[in-house]
Chains A and B, each alone.
Chain A
Amino acid sequence: AQKVTQAQTEISVVEKEDVTLDCVYETRDTTYYLFWYKQPPSGELVFLIRRNSFDEQNEISGRYSWNFQKSTSSFNFTITASQVVDSAVYFCALTLNRDDKIIFGKGTRLHILP
């Protein structure tokens, strides 16, 4: 069975600090897709990134970066120079196929303190 674990339930950091959100996944399949979503207080889910299992390159998008390591089954998300607007719940997720359901982790609530 597939599983996504986000061990950090809640994190608080002061603005401008860097913060890493951890994500560990479990699957026996060799083909899968990993996601990160942001859910701000308004409630909508914002798509951040999708990574397939054959692409282990790290990705950087502005202040956001993702570290995908198949050896440790991890797909961690780092926010550099955090801002108050980054405060949200962040979900890591996994799917095996394009047409399949997405399995979500329990989420990490991130508080950026001014």
Chain B
Amino acid sequence: SAVISQKPSRDICQRGTSLTIQCQVDSQVTMMFWYRQQPGQSLTLIATANQGSEATYESGFVIDKFPISRPNLTFSTLTVSNMSPEDSSIYLCSAQTFRDSDYEQYFGPGTRLTVT
């Protein structure tokens, strides 16, 4: 299994500011993903963080609002830019690991963001 850590675990931010969330995996992984979970809702994929290239964003999410970095195979960051109260959510990092020609997908503990 993979151990995924995220920083910060939670934050309260003022509208108009930006927050960068860090995701660290304890082993090299090919695929990393960023999800958003709004209060009481399911998980929605924001983007796939590709190593060595730009992230691939899902419909409704844009790079200007959610810039993503993936400098190596164990680390990624997600920035929530120009925040508004609607951005209050849990943001989760996810990574795929392969074992015995099969794979599993693990999630970090999440970053609980409140925008005031």
Question: Which residues of A line the B interface, CB within 8 A?
Answer: 35, 37, 42-45, 47, 50, 91, 95, 98-99, 101-102, 104-107
Contacts and interface: CB of A to CB of B under 8 A. Distances in A.
B59 to A, nearest CB: 11
Contacts of B30: 99
B103 A98 contact: yes
Interface of B: 1, 30-31, 33, 41-45, 48, 58, 90, 92, 94, 96, 98, 102-110, 112
Contacts of B106: 47
Classify the secondary structure of A's interface with B: loop
Contacts of B104: 47, 50
A37 B106 CA distance: 10
26 contacts: A42-B109, A43-B109, A43-B110, A44-B107, A44-B109, A44-B110, A45-B43, A45-B110, A47-B106, A50-B103, A50-B104, A91-B43, A98-B96, A98-B98, A98-B103, A99-B30, A99-B31, A101-B33, A101-B58, A102-B33, A102-B45, A102-B94, A104-B43, A104-B44, A106-B42, A107-B42
Contacts of A98: 31, 96, 98, 103
Contacts of B43: 45, 91, 102, 104
Most A-side CB within 10 Å, residue of B31, B43, B108:
B43
A99 B33 CA distance: 10
Nearest to B33: A101
Nearest to B107: A45
Contacts of A50: 102-105
B112 A43 contact: yes
